Amino acid sequence: MADLLAPATETASASARARPGMARMIRNALLGRMVIVVPYLWLLVFFLVPFLIVFKISLSTTAIAMPPYTPTFGFEDGISGLIAKFGEMSLDNYVWLTEDALYFNAYVSSIVIAAVSTMITLIVGFPVAYGMARAPASLRPTLLMLVILPFWTSFLIRVYAWIGILKPEGLLNQFLLFVGIIDEPLIILNTHTAIFIGIVYSYLPFMVLPLYSSLEKMDYSLIEAAQDLGCPPITAFWKITFPLALPGVLAGCLLVFIPAVGEFVIPDLLGGSQTLMIGKTLWNEFFNNRDWPVSSAVAVILLLILVVPIMLFQQAQARAQEKGR
């Protein structure tokens, strides 16, 4: 191409020579764009579209039909039909959520249970991560393996196993009775305690791993320097170790808190019928009441409750990074 257009002037020929390079640049730029497009496409198809469907259902009304709500969109509607159907949608389900105290209580109780569990997980996970990070380098891969090992068994089975441990005639009570610490079995199963145990147990790896990664990076001579400058070990921990592990603490807490709020399996299996958690409420609306629109509204609100703090956190982190630079 460049040869056919070969112009007389020197500058023009220079630009002609540059053309194949330009084409490569454009190709590379497109390729680079593609690499970014793929994950966005993935998120669009498997996250945003399903969310929009859920959101649409949350604006619908229950109906004895298949699917159990109305209106349903179809290609045969035409534009005018579509507009008419949009008119049928309303925020009634969201209003309903505010009218029945059940939902508000379920949200609050979920957040409280998740927050308490996250705190316990942090308190249990920090020493574990610290111990791992301070272990001899040759031992660390093994310890990491041990933290990840539970994932090799189904989550559901592991939660079921806790029933066997916690029930009145279960392993824990039998052991405590045998040792003589207690005279009659403790009632743990079907209480909040059981939920805490279940969540802490199940989500501990999600706390330990980010904590470990931030603690392992830390130079131990910083602790020695702090002690050298007059810090007893506990003060050194709060002034040096903890602030430097803070990114890991935040990441771990989010990784535990977010799934814990919406947790369904653990409260259902370990918490018994009285526990109020939003995941269970949602399940009841969906399967017992067959009220897809209300359960969709519950899900949308849950998402909002979780997305807002995450966005605030990300903003704070971006600002901290900006300041650090």
Partner 1 sequence: MKSLGSIRRSFAPWADPAAKPYILFENVTKKFGDFVAVDDLSLSLFEREFFALLGASGCGKSTLLRMLAGFEEPTSGRILLDGQDLRGIPPYRRPVNMMFQSYALFPHMTVEQNIAFGLKQDGMPKPEIAERVGAMLKLVKLEPFARRKPHQLSGGQRQRVALARSLAKRPKVLLLDEPLGALDKKLREETQFELMDLQQELGLTFIVVTHDQEEAMTMADRIAIMDRGTVKQVATPAEIYEAPNSRFVADFVGSVNLFEGQVSSAGNGAMTIASNGFAIRSANGSEAGTGSTVWFAIRPEKIRVASRKPVGAEANAIEGEVYDIAYLGDMTIYHIRLDDGRIVKASTMNSARVSEDVLTWNDRAWISFDRDAGVVLTA
Q: Which positions lie near partner 1, rule CB under 8 A?
A: 219, 221-222, 224-232, 235, 239-240, 243-244, 324
Name every residue whose Cβ is closer than 8 Å to that of residue 40 and which is 6 or more positions away in sequence. Answer: none
Q: How far is the CB of 230 from partner 1 (least distance, A)?
A: 4
Quick one: 27 or 239, whose CB is closer to partner 1?
239
Q: How far is the CB of 139 from partner 1 (least distance, A)?
A: 16
Quick one: 141 or 324, whose CB is closer to partner 1?
324
Quick one: 33 or 325, whose CB is closer to partner 1?
325
Tokens of 8: 């007389």
Place of tokens 């920090």: 126
Q: How far is the CB of 217 from partner 1 (least distance, A)?
A: 10
Q: How far is the CB of 325 from partner 1 (least distance, A)?
A: 8
Q: How far is the CB of 124 from partner 1 (least distance, A)?
A: 25
Return the C-alpha torsion angle 191, 194, 196, 197, nearest 10. 170
Of 110, 272, 125, whose CA–CA distance to 188 is shortest?
272
Sequential DSSP letters for 228-280: HTT--HHHHIIIIIHHHHHHHHHHHHHHHHHHHHT--HHHHHHSTTT---HHH
At 162, which amino acid appears? W
Quick one: 150 or 243, whose CB is closer to partner 1?
243
Quick one: 105 or 235, whose CB is closer to partner 1?
235
Tokens of 255: 């990784």
Q: How far is the CB of 257 from partner 1 (least distance, A)?
A: 24
CA angle 145, 149, 153 (to 5 degrees): 165
Q: How far, in Å, CA of 78 to CA of 76, rounded?
A: 6
Quick one: 36 or 137, whose CB is closer to partner 1?
137
